[in-house]
Chains A and B, each alone.
Chain A
């Protein structure tokens, strides 16, 4: 009897497994420009943020090129810097943010991109180039992968007054229902902007004032969050949150009471670009991968998966109006004109770090 049961269970499991496999194989795709990839082989080590690519694309890339991809996730730019600085860095590709790229270029840690191997670079929208120009002139070392703004996500049922200023995050009416972002540059930028200062300020007094304002905000905060802000906002657990536009867009899709705004004082527009570290071993595969993800069809698909704004004009032409018509996903030039890119602060970053550490120490008192 037991043997019989075991056989039945085994058979069921085999079928279940077979069914799963069948589903995976369904992936159908085509390249927008009929690209063909030669066999490259070897390994490609990618370092990227969590949930920041449609993993099906990796499988397609592996099939096309015979490269075996190792995809490692990171949670912060700082973590990535540590990995890239280490002597036995294995990564062939990674996706750092703007000001980190500036730092990496200055430290001579990146390989210039061979644009001839990336014909799909033509797909990058012109209006993006003017921003990336600021930290990587001529896109010599990097190509934009995803981008977005920083703004306020709010629940229209809980916040009935119009939201157009960072000031609302200091409004006592919403005490205990405000999420601040748990990141040095982002949180201090919010405070700097509210006071009318530049987010790339090199004036220690301004940073100090911004820090004092953040400390004043502590009693009003629900907390400091990153990814956890999403579920909290979707489930109506908080009224206001500092958030990246991509996350905001995904939240608004799940809860129709949510709205996103880039405040009138201005904000940060950020870019996560793809770069090849100097230590890369499979440079050929790295270039092929960059070209691959910039294919208009695949970029569209990737964007539909992760919901962050794409700099790829080809994808913008193909995406559903649901994406394109959203001011969150696709902000107007008017909104972007208020936003600026983070710069690497050089040694002045210490002033920011000290302010942040002082702010954190003031928590829980």
Chain B
């Protein structure tokens, strides 16, 4: 009973900075210039162009997540098989860039892709402003978020299980697919969650690396607020935010579902 007191500051914090702002988003979505109206909400919802941008963002986030997983899994696996001290040192190297601000790192990539790499390769043009460049920088920025949970899960797998699998005649490949991979699903799930959700809401990267040519959903929300807010109209931006919130909510639900399945499965074995 006493301990609950310590949770109060956090609850107050959640209410003030998470729950209340969300209520504001809903409030502004149906409120234009002080009067209740659903017209803006409806016109935004029925605009196919906006849905198209959402689709582009989902595809982009999906690509980012898949590439992060394909790159991150082998790295995490190799790290988990190294001596703890060496692995610790190498993983620090992965995380050092994260001590720097995300926007700064993106600016650095802008300079690399715009000036440094083309200069090095003797190219005349630049590498910014392409879908590939946006995707690459997204992968770069989110890769550590994939490696971190994967490494944690993989490092905790009981080595005797692997030995047992080999003892019972399974070769390396079979051991990996029948023992290690299923046991690492919780890591994969949280890795996917930690990459997919920030990737779908990304807006700095497309703005800086895509030269404003790759408009993702985050940019669409920014645009709605920036161009319309001078007129005191937050309805369109708020509606778009709600849609994005729902997307994030649904993907979290799906991920949680997978996570739970795995835990039950793990207990059965």
Known contacts A176-B125, A353-B228, A361-B50; decide if A223 and B115 are in contact (CB<8 Å).
no
Complex contact B49–A358 (CB within 8 A)? yes
Q: Which of B56, B125, B227, B228 has the most CB of A within 10 A?
A: B227
Interface 9-mer from B9-17, B74-82, B210-218: B210-218
Could you tell me the distance between the alpha carbons of A82 and B3 in the complex, rounded to whole angstroms?
43
Complex contact A364–B210 (CB within 8 A)? yes
Interface 9-mer from A73-81, A124-132, A262-270, A320-328: A73-81
- Kindly report which residue of chain A lies nearest to residue B50, judged by CB atoms: A361
Complex contact A361–B230 (CB within 8 A)? no
Complex contact A223–B129 (CB within 8 A)? yes
Complex contact A223–B114 (CB within 8 A)? no
Fill in one digit per residue for A69-97: 1 if any B CB lies within 8 Å of its CB, else 0: 00000001111011001000000000000
Contacts of A363 in B (CB 8 A): 212-215
- Kindly report which residue of chain A lies nearest to residue B216, judged by CB atoms: A364
Give min CB distance, B106 to chain A, whole Å.
12
Give min CB distance, A14 to chain B, whole Å.
30
Chain A positions 200-237 with a Cβ under 8 Å from a chain B Cβ = 218, 221-225, 228, 232, 235, 237
Complex contact B52–A365 (CB within 8 A)? yes
Complex contact A361–B232 (CB within 8 A)? no
Complex contact A360–B223 (CB within 8 A)? yes
Is B101 among interface residues, defined by CB-CB distance under 8 A? no
Is B163 among interface residues, defined by CB-CB distance under 8 A? no
Partner of A361 from the list B110, B131, B220 (CB cut-off 8 Å) is B220
Contacts of A228 in B (CB 8 A): 110, 211
Could you tell me the distance between the alpha carbons of A100 and B231 in the complex, rounded to whole angstroms?
11
Partner of A221 from the list B213, B215, B230 (CB cut-off 8 Å) is B213
Could you tell me the distance between the alpha carbons of A357 and B226 in the complex, rounded to whole angstroms?
11
Complex contact A364–B131 (CB within 8 A)? yes
Is A356 among interface residues, defined by CB-CB distance under 8 A? yes
Is B136 among interface residues, defined by CB-CB distance under 8 A? no
Could you tell me the distance between the alpha carbons of A247 and B214 in the complex, rounded to whole angstroms?
25
- Kindly report which residue of chain B lies nearest to residue A78, judged by CB atoms: B230
Count residues of B near A (Cβ-Cβ below 8 Å). 32
Could you tell me the distance between the alpha carbons of A317 and B175 in the complex, rounded to whole angstroms?
84
Partner of B213 from the list A76, A77, A224 (CB cut-off 8 Å) is A224
Partner of B232 from the list A85, A350, A357 (CB cut-off 8 Å) is A85
Could you tell me the distance between the alpha carbons of A96 and B106 in the complex, rounded to whole angstroms?
30
- Kindly report which residue of chain A lies nearest to residue B125, judged by CB atoms: A176
- Kindly report which residue of chain A lies nearest to residue B208, judged by CB atoms: A228
- Kindly report which residue of chain B lies nearest to residue A349, judged by CB atoms: B231
Complex contact B219–A360 (CB within 8 A)? yes
- Kindly report which residue of chain B lies nearest to residue A179, judged by CB atoms: B211
Contacts of A221 in B (CB 8 A): 211, 213
Chain A positions 149-208 with a Cβ under 8 Å from a chain B Cβ = 176-177, 182, 184
Contacts of B114 in A (CB 8 A): 232, 235, 237
Could you tell me the distance between the alpha carbons of A232 and B230 in the complex, rounded to whole angstroms?
30
Contacts of B232 in A (CB 8 A): 85
Give min CB distance, B169 to chain A, whole Å.
52
Give min CB distance, A283 to chain B, whole Å.
25
Complex contact A362–B231 (CB within 8 A)? no
Fill in one digit per residue for A336-365: 1 if any B CB lies within 8 Å of its CB, else 0: 000000000000011001001110111111
Complex contact B230–A77 (CB within 8 A)? yes
Complex contact B215–A78 (CB within 8 A)? no
Give min CB distance, A220 to chain B, whole Å.
11
Is B229 among interface residues, defined by CB-CB distance under 8 A? yes
Contacts of B213 in A (CB 8 A): 218, 221-224, 363-364
Could you tell me the distance between the alpha carbons of A224 and B50 in the complex, rounded to whole angstroms?
19
Give min CB distance, A228 to chain B, whole Å.
8
Chain B positions 47-99 with a Cβ under 8 Å from a chain A Cβ = 49-50, 52-53, 56
Could you tell me the distance between the alpha carbons of A79 and B131 in the complex, rounded to whole angstroms?
29
Known contacts A85-B232, A223-B210, A358-B49; decide if A364 and B227 are in contact (CB<8 Å).
no
Give min CB distance, B236 to chain A, whole Å.
8
Complex contact A361–B227 (CB within 8 A)? no
Complex contact A224–B211 (CB within 8 A)? yes
- Kindly report which residue of chain A lies nearest to residue B119, judged by CB atoms: A235
Contacts of B49 in A (CB 8 A): 357-358, 361-362
Is B128 among interface residues, defined by CB-CB distance under 8 A? yes
Known contacts A222-B129, A235-B115, A237-B114; decide if A364 and B215 are in contact (CB<8 Å).
yes
Known contacts A82-B230, A232-B114; decide if A222 and B211 are in contact (CB<8 Å).
yes
Using a CB–CB distance below 8 Å, which chain B residues touch chain A? Answer: 49-50, 52-53, 56, 110, 114-115, 125-126, 128-129, 131, 206, 210-216, 219-220, 223-224, 226-232
User: Which 4 pairs of residues, A with B, have the shortest CB-CB distance?
Assistant: A223-B211, A224-B212, A361-B49, A81-B230
Using a CB–CB distance below 8 Å, which chain A residues touch chain B? Answer: 76-79, 81-82, 85, 100, 176-177, 182, 184, 218, 221-225, 228, 232, 235, 237, 349-350, 353, 356-358, 360-365
Q: What are 24 pairs between A and B in contact, CB < 8 Å?
A: A77-B230, A79-B226, A100-B230, A176-B125, A182-B212, A221-B211, A221-B213, A222-B126, A223-B211, A224-B211, A225-B211, A237-B114, A237-B126, A349-B231, A357-B49, A357-B224, A357-B227, A360-B223, A361-B53, A362-B49, A364-B53, A364-B210, A364-B213, A365-B52
Given contacts A176-B125, A364-B131, A364-B215, 18 further A-B contacts (CB under 8 A): A76-B226, A81-B230, A82-B230, A85-B232, A176-B129, A184-B227, A221-B211, A221-B213, A224-B212, A225-B211, A237-B114, A237-B115, A356-B227, A360-B219, A361-B49, A361-B52, A364-B56, A364-B213
